[in-house]
Structure 1
């Protein structure tokens, strides 16, 4: 099974192996131009972990940042990294009994094999609920392959926005962001773990596939994976992707209807398919096109206002 999972701090969009439809690197992977009534904006699909050799972002993404006066992220990145929310996350992840006694024996055996293959101690999972183990395994697997969260697209642009004093906003409050997992039922939690373990074990579902899919800007691959997730686990698809996309629309429209160019950065999985943001915004009447053609984008003047977090 090929699915998407999300890492909370920050969200990780995992792109699994499917036949590549793009040819070579894209100058603007997962970047869309959105014509609002008063300004042109940019909608960017983020990959939240990247290796060191991908630290230099493609030119099209750089130009979109320079053109934008403000940035919009999924949630408040600073708050999600705070000790207070980290403590709340860990408290919610604590389980009443060991993981081995909480999930199906066959799933636990597969988990032990995968954890061993990347050198992750099972002590990182045993005291916690299944969803937290899934997220830990996901992150550990990518870190084991040399991927780092601080090189993710959202993290790079957030740090630059702070330095450049560009205002930053977000689409969902940090508590709602955490609740995506902390409020899951036991069945949903085990389902997330099973999907994560099975995908990571499959041949071809490796970090290199994430990197290749991103570099090619292979949106068709993402749409196919979204369809597979919806067919296999519709409740998880609704919880992590489709439902959140609909919930974001009001804030998105507020940003897009303004007169200041916005760079909106969300996990790439949120953009594609019939429930994706591209389709939903088109239904609202916005003109959207892929920013995959060469173009000179002039740099915006430095913003006058200091950083604002709402």
Structure 2
């Protein structure tokens, strides 16, 4: 097998950002509802108020097309904040040492093969994807399921113009670097890598099959819900994901939200304003950050959509 050549190393380095998109998978056959014109559209940004501080909680899509611009509401929240917080430090996961570690951990042990764990139809889809990308047909052969799923999704989305460079995270990370705005992160790259490496193989295989079948349609639906602040739609897709893989949902969403909550309350206790940018699926549902903060007695208000 031939690993990705130098021209594709940057795309492979984006694996972690794309993996975060996978935390908000949309179930098979789901399509986004049309926006309801009878009610004002909201943004995927919430203003959280405490006695001392203000926190803006914004849903991020880690890969977008050039035309999928962040809303004016999100830019306003960025302008008002004294610091911006990301899920992970994008500078860290872009380092060559980290990418090499990802590639090392992504490999199956000698003698093992990804395609031996897959049905013939899925293997055929993988090979077709590789050919369309001018990659060897056996490009995925030596990758573990969790990485193969992220890599395949990255390639599929790139065919429709989705890129991490257009994603919400990268857009505001680059802006913060240029303007010298203080940055923090909720997790380290190593923490996220360990989390993915330790996912059960059956979950990675199931996600790979679904990505190859409905990956682009799911991405389109997710963008539609994000653009219109459709919390109900996002809650439905999150519930369907939980039903499809309860253990993966709990590990990638519920447990992380609970771990992040004390950090959010720490920032709220201060007098500075903070913008926290996390995957949109982290914000919805009974285990979402919005509900968790409301249960803790904070005033939480979804901001109106401003384009």
| TM-score relative to the length of structure 2 | 0.84
Deviation for aligned residue 1:48: 1.0
Partners of 2:34 and 2:85 lie apart in 1 by 29
* Contact in 1 for aligned 2:87/2:187 (Cα 8 Å): yes
1:73 and 1:81, CA in 2 relative to 1: closer, same or farther beyond 3 A? Answer: same
Report the CA distance shift for 1:102/1:15 in structure 2 as closer, same or farther (over 3 A).
closer
1:45 aligns with 2:53: no
TM-score scaled by length of structure 1: 0.83
Q: Which residue is equivalent to 1:303?
A: none
Paired residue for 2:21? 12
Matching of residues 1-310 of structure 1 within 5 Å? 8-9=16-17, 11-12=20-21, 16=26, 17-23=31-37, 29-55=43-69, 57-96=70-109, 97-112=112-127, 122-200=137-215, 205=217, 207-292=219-304
- Of 44-53 and 262-271, deviating more is 44-53
Deviation, structure 1 residue 114: 5.8
Deviates more, 1:44-53 or 1:118-127: 118-127
8 Å CA contact 2:165–2:171 kept in 1: the answer is yes
Greater share of residues in helix: 2
How far does residue 104 in structure 1 lie from its aligned partner after superposition? 4.0
Unmatched 5+ stretches in structure 2: 1-13
- Aligned residues: CA RMSD: 2.6
Secondary structure of the residue aligned to 1:73 is: strand
Whether contact under 8 Å (1:111, 1:197) holds in the other structure is: yes
- On the 8 A contact 2:157/2:215 being kept in 1, the answer is no
Q: Provide Cα deviations, 1:111-134, integer angstroms capped at 9, x if missing partner.
A: 445666777654331121111111
Closer/same/farther in 2, CA of residues 32 and 122 from structure 1, 3 Å limit: farther
Deviation of 1:33 after TM superposition, in Å, equals: 0.6
Query: What is the CA-CA distance between 1:98 and the residue it aligns to?
Result: 2.2
Q: Provide Cα deviations, 1:188-231, integer angstroms capped at 9, x if missing partner.
A: 33233233234328xxx254333322221222111000100111
Q: Which residue of 1 aligns with 2:5?
A: none
C-alpha distance 219-112 of structure 1, shift in aligned 2 (>3 A): farther
Q: Judging changes above 3 Å, is the alpha-carbon distance between structure 1 residues 243 and 116 closer, same or farther for their aligned structure 2 residues? A: farther
Distance 1:63 1:285 in 2: 25
CA distance in 1, matches of 2:180, 2:204: 39
Find the residue that maps to 1:30 and give its secondary structure.
strand
Distance 2:280 2:82 in 1: 22
Quick check: 208-217 or 164-173, which moved more?
208-217
